[in-house]
């Protein structure tokens, strides 16, 4: 169940009461089967939300983990597993993830593997998590600097999304999530593509954001429901992610991490340049590339890399999960609303595009 609206406290409280319908609202908080996972940046927000909805809960039933990709590793997973075990979590237990995309990824992964699977809910607090990470049933952690190499397909049974959280975010977090909104706009075309070319709305404009969240959730849910385990159409959601993940991994390797969405934004630009080489409607694809460059250059700081970094970038691209052995497979947009997947690209073509951005996009 995906709920998107404004009165999240009421909706969440009612859902939790229904989940534990044998106890009163006032005792939900002390129910031994409820566990809350939050990040360092959402800890105070998490406590405030829980207190507002269900009252105080035992301190031992809230675990705080590092922010972002620092949490997406086996060491943090072991901490979560031990916390659940030490507090006697059972297969009937419920893990509630409150935070951004990385937290939803690692929390969902731990829930889906602890005791071979316990129920989990997601309450995304960042734009990136609202439109992407919390929806769709992908969970996972990184293997070194290789993104999301370990994970499961497992769906949160409840997801609660509200634009109210957006006003708590720094601008970089809004921009990071907006990259996924741009991607969805390309996939949909039409009014969605037109909207993502406009200025990003003020985070206090809840109604406008509610509309944006709803169409983003709708497009992702439609694709995921048609192809849950990414055998075909769901690969479209990887638009911009092959090169984007490589840029993100390179920055992690250099100990200069960047927000996920910044890498994806530039990945969309570079992959649209690749698409021109294969397009049967070259004029439309070139127009899309130029429009993307205009959007991304206006919003996102450059990710500078040198010619000497291209072999490392290519090693990450060759390790991408979408590839078929030695064959590099991309998802590509040839025009807004006209996209395809499993597009085979030669390494030479990728290197040529990367060379175009040397020094432009450290």
Q: Are 112 and 154 in contact (CB under 8 A)?
A: yes
Q: Are 71 and 39 in contact (CB under 8 A)?
A: yes
Query: In this predicted model, what pLDDT tens digit does every residue of 16-28 receive, in sequence order?
Result: 888 877 544 445 5
What domains are there in the chain, each with its CATH number?
2-169 (3.40.50.1970), 175-356 (1.20.1090.10)
Q: Are 152 and 140 in contact (CB under 8 A)?
A: yes
Which of 74, 68, 78, 201 shows the shortest CA–CA distance to 125? 68
User: What average pLDDT score do residues 118-141 get?
Assistant: 93
Band of residue 362 on the pLDDT scale cut at 50, 70, 90:
very low
Residue 18 or 361, more confident: 18
Q: Are 330 and 276 in contact (CB under 8 A)?
A: no
The whole-angstrom separation of Cα 34 and Cα 120 is: 10
Highest mean pLDDT among 43-47, 56-60, 316-320: 316-320
Between helix 347-356 and helix 260-278 the angle, nearest 10°, is: 120
Is the entire prediction scored with pTM above 0.85? yes
DSSP state of 305: -
Res 56: pLDDT:
66
The DSSP code sequence of 181-235 is HHHHHHHH-HHHHHHHTSPPPPTT-HHHHHHHHHHHHHHHHHHHHH-TT-SSGGG
**Block residue for tokens 């030490």:** 86
Taking 50 as the threshold, does the pLDDT of residue 91 lie above it?
yes
Res 47: pLDDT:
77
Band of residue 125 on the pLDDT scale cut at 50, 70, 90:
very high
Q: Are 53 and 12 in contact (CB under 8 A)?
A: yes
> What tokens appear for 321 in the block?
């999960």
Query: In this predicted model, what pLDDT tens digit does every residue of 176-220 receive, in sequence order?
Result: 999 999 999 999 999 999 999 999 999 999 999 999 999 999 999
Reported as type and span, the H/E element at residue 271 is: helix 260-278
Query: Within 10 Å of residue 262's Cβ, how many Cβ atoms?
Result: 24
Res 274: pLDDT:
96
Reported as type and span, the H/E element at residue 141 is: strand 138-143
The whole-angstrom separation of Cα 118 and Cα 114 is: 7
Query: Within 10 Å of residue 59's Cβ, how many Cβ atoms?
Result: 8
CA distances from 29 to 16, 61, 159, 184, 335 (A): 10, 9, 19, 38, 50
């Amino acid at each position: 169940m995906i709920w998107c609206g404004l009165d999240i406290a009421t909706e969440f409280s009612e859902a939790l009461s229904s989940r534990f319908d044998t106890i009163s609202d006032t005792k939900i908080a002390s129910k031994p089967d409820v566990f809350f996972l939050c990040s360092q940046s959402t800890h105070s927000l998490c406590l405030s939300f829980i207190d507002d909805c269900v009252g105080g809960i035992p301190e031992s039933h809230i675990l705080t983990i590092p922010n972002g990709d620092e949490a997406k590793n086996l060491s943090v997973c072991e901490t979560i597993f031990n916390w659940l075990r030490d507090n006697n979590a059972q297969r009937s237990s419920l893990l509630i993830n409150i935070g951004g995309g990385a937290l939803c990824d690692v929390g969902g992964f731990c829930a889906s593997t602890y005791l071979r699977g316990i129920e989990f809910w997601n309450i995304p607090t960042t734009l990136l998590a609202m439109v992407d990470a919390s929806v769709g049933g992908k969970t996972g952690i990184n293997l070194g600097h290789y993104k999301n190499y370990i994970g499961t397909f497992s769906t949160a049974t409840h997801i609660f999304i509200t634009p109210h959280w957006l006003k708590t975010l720094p601008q970089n977090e809004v921009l990071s999530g907006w990259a996924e909104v741009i991607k969805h706009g390309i996939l949909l075309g039409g009014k969605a593509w037109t909207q993502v070319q406009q200025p990003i709305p003020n985070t206090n404009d809840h109604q406008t954001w509610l509309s944006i969240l709803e169409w983003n959730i709708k497009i992702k849910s439609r694709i995921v429901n048609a192809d849950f385990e990414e055998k075909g159409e769901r690969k479209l959601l990887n638009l911009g992610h092959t090169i984007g993940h490589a840029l993100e991994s390179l920055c992690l390797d250099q100990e200069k991490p960047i927000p996920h969405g910044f890498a994806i934004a530039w990945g969309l630009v570079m992959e649209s340049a690749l698409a021109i080489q294969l397009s049967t409607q070259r004029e439309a694809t070139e127009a899309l590339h130029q429009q993307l460059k205009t959007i991304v250059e206006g919003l996102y700081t450059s990710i500078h890399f040198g010619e000497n970094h291209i072999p490392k970038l290519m090693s990450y691209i060759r390790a991408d999960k979408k590839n078929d052995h030695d064959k590099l497979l991309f998802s590509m947009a040839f025009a807004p609303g006209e996209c395809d997947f499993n597009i085979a690209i030669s390494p030479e073509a990728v290197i040529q595009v990367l060379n175009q951005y040397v020094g432009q996009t450290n």
